[in-house]
Amino acid sequence: MTFFRVLTVLALLAAIGLTGAKVSALWTQQEMTAPAFIPSVPAPPAVADAVVKQPPADPVLERLNQRLTDNPNDFEANLLKGLLLFQDGELSEAIAVLEDLTARAPKFQLAHLILGDLLSARYGLVTPFAADAINGVGEHHQQVAQLKNEARARLEGYLSALDQATVPAVLLTLGESIGHALVVDKSRHRLYVFRNAGTGLPPKLIDDFYIVLGKVPGDKRREGDLKTPDGVYFVTSYLPDEKLPPLYGQGAFPVNYPNEYDRRLHKTGQGIWLHGTDKSLYSRPPLDSEGCVVLTNEEFARIATYVEVGRTPVVISEQVQWLSTREWLDRNIEIQAALESWRQSWEKADLQSYLDFYSADFWSSGYDEQSWGEYKKRVFAGKTFQKVGLADIALFEYPRSAQQPPMVVANFEQRYRSNNFNGDMRKRLYLVKESQRWKILYEGGQ
């Protein structure tokens, strides 16, 4: 077994719990040192026998098998299955799985690399490709480094889905008109798909994918900074592949960056999309886009079955916070109660109580807090009755740093009736928590 093969396979297997070593220790960007244990050829079971003294990874296998039942062409699941077979000492079976995978996905470079490693385990060969990678020279070293980063992102991201609580904090409720929501965890290079499970129930995780992000980590601030933005966004359109350059692969779903809050913060730039991969490739390294969220073309096609233009939210976070069902329900009740109190004060024309729901930093189109209060005072003076209804309420907790106050985006259908005006509209509020009370930071149409 070659030194390069040991490093690659043990690093990959470390990420699925086969060794006590941490992934970060094996996959450092600095000079790598040889592992303390180098098994002999060709006995992969020795890896498990000598390194692993843990219960079998039943949840991992169970979820992988379910993924492959749902979609036999889930190439990532096939890749991980090959690694798990290697864990169990089934080298021939692992090679067979990866040979089949590389035949069906010939552009999947990472699968070819791992297959090559397993074949060198069988025959004890060191290829020129591997020798260059070991010595840190040539273009092969850079290629292997990129594939290694992709492997780490895929494995860590996949396993994170097994280890999460029920629901991400960013998805508080999806209302009636949203069928699915997309949640991006930048720290895991993972996109999660959640299905609306109905009123009063947390959304259900149904799919997840490896993704490529902007070349520069962090939240997007200005045009050309090569960062992927953090925020609550919505798919605005669909661009088919025939209308796009080859770079975008299968197609693209633009989102509404910069949103209302981004513009308030004077963020610049445009053209943040979910899109496919250049058709000459299968996938790309984890940090390789100009700010877009990039999937393989096969997985973009699967995403397209969940997306509804104008409805589907795409919530992008540096790191997703996960909640238990109880925590999720408590947050829902708190924010829904604040919205209902605001609605009642408006309907009753209780001007002071109504205006108390607005932040000192409030803004809307053409208004700040003071001018909004003056405008509403004039409106209320002409009312003999008002009926205000809120329906199809969707709530999204806005991604934030630890130093920022909690903020929620509320989308809903507003139905307004009064003695001198009737009207329905889709409305959006940004609510911020100030001194333990939810206040409206922004109000406008969707």
Residues 135 and 232 in one domain: no
234 and 113 co-located in one domain: no
Question: Do 187 and 150 share a structural domain?
Answer: no
CATH code of the domain in which 318 resides: 2.40.440.10
Of the residues 105, 137, 162, which one is the last residue of a structural domain?
162
Looking at 162, 196, 226, the residue that finishes a domain is 162
Read off the pLDDT band of 126 (50, 70, 90): low
313 and 332 part of one domain: no
* Pairwise CA distance, residues 228 & 249, whole Å: 19
CA separation for the pair 44, 124 (Å, rounded)? 12
Taking alpha carbons only, the member of 188, 215, 249, 196 closest to residue 396 is: 196
Share of the chain above pLDDT 70, in %: 82
Rounded average pLDDT over 213-233: 97
Q: What is the mean pLDDT of residues 89-118?
A: 91
Structure tokens at 31: 């000079």
Q: What is the DSSP track for 4-57?
A: HHHHHHHHHHHHTTSSSS-HHHHS-SS-----S--PPTT-THHHHHHH--S---
CA 130 to chain centre: 33
375 in the same domain as 306: no
Q: Which helix (H) or strand (E) holds 60?
A: helix 58-70
What SS3 state is found at 87? helix
CA dist 44 and 178 (Å) reads 48
* C-alpha–C-alpha distance, residues 150 and 114, integer Å: 12
Q: How many structural domains is the chain composed of?
A: 3
Say yes or no: 183 and 271 in one domain: yes
Residue type, 187: S
Alpha-carbon radius of gyration of the chain: 26
CATH number at residue 348: 3.10.450.50
> What was the pLDDT predicted at 139?
60
Question: Is residue 442's pLDDT more than 80?
Answer: yes
| DSSP three-state, residue 63 | helix
Q: Is the pLDDT of residue 103 over 70?
A: yes
Cα separation, 212 vs 220, in Å, equals 15
* 207 and 313 co-located in one domain: yes
Q: Last residue of a domain, which of 294, 322, 350? A: 322
* Residue-wise pLDDT tens digits, 147-174: 888 988 888 888 777 666 689 999 999 9
Q: Which residues pair with 253 in a beta bridge?
A: 274
The position carrying tokens 């490709």 is 129
Q: Rounded to an integer, what distance in angstroms lies between the CA atom of residue 298 and that of residue 289?
A: 18
| pLDDT of the residue at 40 | 32
Q: What is the pLDDT of residue 166?
A: 81
Please indicate, yes or no, whether residues 154 and 174 belong to a single structural domain of this protein: no
Do 21 and 105 lie in one domain? The reply is yes
- Looking at the structure, do residues 151 and 50 belong to the same domain, yes or no? yes
pLDDT score, position 362:
98
Do 168 and 321 contact (CB within 8 A), yes or no?
Answer: yes
User: Residue 58 has what pLDDT?
Assistant: 57
Tokens coding 354:
């109504």
Q: Indicate the residue type of 123.
A: Y
* Shared-domain flag, residues 24 and 142: yes
Lowest mean pLDDT among 115-119, 286-290, 361-365, 415-419: 115-119
Q: Rounded mean pLDDT of 225-230?
A: 98
DSSP letters, 294-337, are E--HHHHHHHHTT--TTT-EEEEESS--EE-HHHHHHHHHHHHH
Q: What separation in angstroms does the CA of 417 have from each of 373, 381, 424?
A: 20, 15, 9
Regarding whether 328 and 288 lie in a shared domain, the answer is no
Over 70: is that where the pLDDT of 33 sits?
A: no
pLDDT at 22 over 70: no
Average pLDDT over residues 389-411: 95
The parent domain of residue 144 ranges over 3-162
